Amino acid sequence: MKPTLLLLAAGMGSRYGGLKQLDGLGPNGETIMDYSIYDAIKAGFGKIVFVIRKDFEQDFRDKILSKYEGHVPAELCFQSLDALPEGFSCPEGRVKPWGTNHAVLMAKDIIKEPFCVINCDDFYNRDAYMVMGKFLSELPEGSKNTYAMVGFRVGNTLSDNGTVARGICSTDEGGHLQTVGERTEIRRVGGPGRYKDEQGEWVPVDDNTPVSMNMWGFTPDYFEHSEAYFKEFLSDPKNMENLKAEFFIPLMVNKLIGDGTATVKVLDTTSKWFGVTYSADRQSVVDKIQGLIDEGVYPAKLF
């Protein structure tokens, strides 16, 4: 069974200043998502599923989904604040989405095969899809609790235009993930990258340190684990009182690793990530995409 690609596309991109998921960066208006899907098809993925917000469904269908007809099956699901387990309701005053793992949960009734989760606004490059596609397609039928993550080197993922959020990873001798810690402010300051710790101090981080760029490989049992733990998350008063608390993928993964439920293989890749975190990043991404077209990696028109 071919794996599925799940694209998280429900965010507005507040730091970028617009709906960057629909921003045309290629020579024919291609979005970063278009390149992700093109690479995924090349890597053997058989279906794509988008998590979006209901309020831009029509725009999304018109500008995005229509171009994939005849190339790959595509489906939509929707993330909303009130998409909660029975017995729970959204706290008054909350406007922030519930986070990346809540977005993943929205696809539980659609995806029945091994799948890869990505951010829609990150350019991961083809090798990342090749190594993830190989891992997922080679899993024995019915596999459970054997997951993967593509590990990028933090030095290849920083922006020249401000801080970025990354999941700093530690691994064991077998290359399995031990922990992933979300660092919401990482930047390069006159040489090495640094992240801000809980005390507000800037801590150096080696350029080769593996980081999560939210490129994960799961089997469908992950939805069951996530449903159960989301109920625990919502049952914690501090998460309901904090109107910005989020149910992140690393939170779920850390729990499954910590209690011995699952393993997560960190897959090495030659890919160099790039993306549009700030509006000032945009031209650099346009130039890099054009460079890949000039090298023959991509055709000038994808679909």
Mean pLDDT by 10 residues, the chain (303 residues): 93 50 82 93 96 85 86 94 94 91 97 96 92 97 96 84 85 92 82 85 88 94 97 96 92 94 92 78 90 95 91
Instruction: Quote the CA–CA distance of 154 and 209 in Å, as a whole number.
Output: 6
Query: 62: number of CA atoms within 13 Å, CB side?
Result: 4
> Residue with structure tokens 């397609």?
137
Residues 121-145 have pLDDT tens digits of: 889 999 999 999 999 999 999 999 9
Instruction: Quote the CA–CA distance of 226 and 229 in Å, as a whole number.
Output: 5
| pLDDT for res 17 | 44
For residue 263, give the nearest of 177, 167, 137 by alpha carbon. 177
For residue 119, give the nearest of 255, 293, 276, 271 by alpha carbon. 276
DSSP 8-state assignment for residue 303: -
| pLDDT for res 280 | 81
Quote the strand ranges of the chain, DSSP E. Answer: 4-8, 47-52, 74-78, 115-119, 122-123, 146-153, 164-171, 177-188, 193-196, 202-205, 210-218, 263-268, 274-275
Instruction: Quote the CA–CA distance of 154 and 241 in Å, as a whole number.
Output: 33
| pLDDT for res 59 | 79
Burial of 88 (0-12, 13-18, 19+ CB in 10 A): middle
Residues 89-126 have pLDDT tens digits of: 999 999 888 999 999 999 999 999 999 999 988 899 99
- pTM, rounded to two decimals: 0.89
Instruction: Output the DSSP codes for 44-64.
Output: T--EEEEEE-GGGHHHHHHHT
